[in-house]
């Protein structure tokens, strides 16, 4: 099977090459320049061990403080600097870190606030080992790049960047500086996502065929943050950006189930369409006076975006995004294989051969309270290890946010840095998962025409190891 897959990939690559050279399809070009001499492929990169990790934080608004708290609570860590536009944010997080440190750690934290560029001074003065970046989307790339150039590993909130040029610059800088640049995709550490990965690896649903991934979350209420905070900058994207603006929460886990960009398969092409853009205008009209700035915007990005990804092996992934329509939250989190299906929201599975006394075949779901037997059997070892609430670490992780996934992610980052292990998400994965935004925008502009994925690995994905089941 493996051999025939490899031949298939080679054949597919050849046909891609011939198609691109004939410019047969609009935007169908995955060409890349050679890796610069001296640059290193970062797929399974191991950095030297850092026993006591000195971390700086840029952006401690709604999100950044979470990371700071989880990080500061772990042994072998030192918070050395915090930067934000606002002094009150910086002071709040300074107090939290100082208290967690109990006069032993985090007692010498430099604070930077007041203008857009203070973080640059921070990097120069502090020279941290790692930088956590949790600012608005437009400055993720420049902050990650400058952090790596200053000698730090960069950990960047989602999406890692919003355009193809910035994504390549992140890759090239990581390869040149030999620094990790990991996107902080916390959903890959969710209990269900970890369990589904475990079940896929055990072959429970056979060969993988199709996935569904989404971020469907009514966030209209964020428009109340008119002058600072998430809504103040994110609202502008609904007006001025295009396509799927937040693809990574759903796609990250499905990509790792399928081993995309890791040895087995890779992203090939994408087509995308959006619905009309109506909901944000209606919400602004209903909730704000006529002359309010939210009523002066023209909300041009369609409310609901649907893209379909085709992989080198011919698998398909439907990726949806909607932060506007009235509807319960879902990330879909669905993976179909030749022997069964795993699905989220609500969590449910169906297996052709059935499961114990709970199902005899795939014609009915195992769901609700019956899922306990599945969790008992297939919970990921990492989740089992860290979910022990009788330990202080287990309690801390349970309280860390998003059902514990945030704490597990930071735990793994610290563990990998301290032990010189590859990150669970390499820089290429962050870029592949984020590039959905510009590719979907291009496809929409061209009436759904296929867009090819840039191969951020420059062909090296074939030799990159799949993420193993970490215990």
Residues making contact with ligand NAD (CB under 6 A): 58-59, 61-64, 83-86, 89, 116, 119, 134-137, 139, 157-158, 186, 229-230, 402
Residue found under tokens 């795939």: 362
Q: How far is the CB of 422 from ligand NAD (least distance, A)?
A: 21
In the complex, the smallest distance separating the C-beta of residue 425 from ligand NAD, rounded to whole angstroms, is 12
If you write DSSP's letter for every residue of 159-203 in order, what string do you get?
SS-SSHHHHHHHHHHHHHHT--EEE--GGGGSHHHHHHHHHHHTT
Q: Give the nearest distance from C-beta 437 to ligand NAD in angstroms.
A: 12
In the complex, what is the shortest distance from the CB of residue 225 to ligand NAD, in angstroms, rounded to a whole number? 8
Q: How far is the CB of 280 from ligand NAD (least distance, A)?
A: 18
**Four-CA torsion 373, 374, 378, 383, nearest 10 degrees:** -80
Name which of 157 and 193 has its Cβ closer to ligand NAD.
Answer: 157
3-state secondary structure (DSSP) of residue 218? coil
Q: Which is nearer to ligand NAD, 214 or 452 (CB)?
A: 214
CA-derived radius of gyration, the chain: 22
Assess contact for 108 and 115: CB atoms under 8 A: no
Nearer to ligand NAD, 199 or 397 (CB): 397
Give me the residue whose beta carbon is nearest to ligand NAD: 61
331 CB-near residues (< 8 Å, 6+ apart): 187, 213, 214, 215, 216, 249, 250, 344, 345
> How is residue 430 written in tokens?
């962050």
Gap between the Cα atoms of 379 and 199, Å rounded: 9
Question: d(Cα 437, Cα 321) in Å, to the nearest integer?
Answer: 10
How far apart are CB 120 and ligand NAD at their closest, in Å?
Answer: 9
Output the smallest distance, CB 211 to ligand NAD, in A: 20
- Output the smallest distance, CB 402 to ligand NAD, in A: 6
Q: Do the Cβ atoms of 45 and 72 come closer than 8 Å?
A: no
Q: 204 Cβ partners below 8 Å, 6+ apart?
A: 337, 339, 340, 351, 378
- Alpha helices (H) in 379-435, listed in sequence order: 381-386, 392-398, 405-419, 427-434
Strands 153-156 and 53-58, by their bridges, are unpaired
Task: Record the tokens describing residue 42, joined without a space.
Answer: 């970062």
Cβ of residue 416: shortest distance to ligand NAD, in angstroms? 18
Q: How far apart are the first and last CA of the chain?
A: 28
Angle, alpha carbons 141-325-442 (nearest 5°): 45
């Amino acid at each position: 099977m493996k051999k025939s897959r490899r031949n298939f990939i080679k054949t597919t690559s050849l046909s891609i090459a011939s198609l691109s050279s004939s410019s047969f399809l609009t935007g169908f070009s995955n060409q890349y320049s050679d890796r610069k001499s001296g640059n290193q492929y970062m797929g399974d990169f191991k950095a030297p061990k850092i026993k006591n990790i000195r971390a700086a934080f840029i952006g401690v608004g709604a999100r950044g403080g979470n990371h700071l708290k989880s990080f500061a609570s772990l042994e072998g860590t030192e918070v050395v600097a915090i930067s934000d536009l606002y002094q009150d944010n910086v002071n709040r997080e300074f107090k939290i870190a100082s208290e967690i440190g109990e006069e032993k750690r985090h007692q010498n934290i430099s604070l930077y606030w007041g203008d857009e560029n203070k973080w640059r001074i921070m990097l120069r003065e502090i020279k941290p080992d790692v930088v956590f970046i949790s600012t608005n989307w437009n400055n993720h790339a420049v902050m990650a790049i400058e952090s790596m150039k200053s000698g730090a590993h960069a950990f960047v909130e989602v999406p890692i960047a919003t355009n193809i040029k910035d994504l390549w610059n992140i890759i090239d800088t990581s390869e040149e500086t030999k620094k990790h640049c990991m996107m902080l995709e916390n959903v890959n550490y969710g209990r269900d996502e970890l369990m589904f990965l475990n079940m896929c690896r055990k072959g429970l649903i056979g060969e993988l065929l199709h996935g569904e991934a989404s971020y469907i979350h009514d966030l209209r209420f964020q428009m109340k943050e008119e002058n600072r905070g998430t809504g103040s900058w994110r609202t502008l994207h609904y007006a001025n950006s295009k396509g799927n603006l937040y693809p990574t929460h759903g796609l990250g886990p499905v990509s790792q189930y399928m081993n995309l960009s890791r040895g087995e398969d890779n992203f090939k092409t994408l087509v995308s369409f959006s619905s009309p853009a109506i909901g944000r205008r209606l919400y602004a009209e209903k909730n704000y006076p006529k002359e309010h700035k939210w009523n002066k915007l023209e909300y041009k990005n369609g409310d609901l975006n649907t893209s379909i990804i085709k992989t080198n092996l011919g698998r398909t992934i439907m990726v949806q995004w909607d932060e506007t329509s009235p509807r319960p939250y879902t990330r879909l989190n669905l993976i179909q294989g030749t022997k069964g299906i795993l699905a989220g929201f609500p969590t449910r599975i169906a297996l052709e051969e059935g499961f114990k006394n709970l199902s005899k075949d795939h014609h009915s779901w195992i769901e609700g309270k019956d899922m306990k037997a599945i969790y008992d059997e297939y919970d990921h070892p990492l989740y089992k290890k860290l979910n022990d609430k009788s330990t202080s670490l287990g309690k801390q992780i349970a309280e860390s946010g998003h059902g514990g996934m945030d704490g597990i992610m930071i735990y793994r980052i610290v563990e990998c840095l301290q032990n010189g292990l590859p990150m669970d998400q390499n820089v290429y994965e962050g870029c592949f998962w984020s590039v959905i935004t510009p590719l979907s925008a291009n496809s929409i502009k061209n009436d759904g025409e296929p867009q090819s994925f840039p191969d951020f690995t420059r062909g090296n994905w074939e030799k990159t190891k799949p993420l193993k089941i970490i215990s």
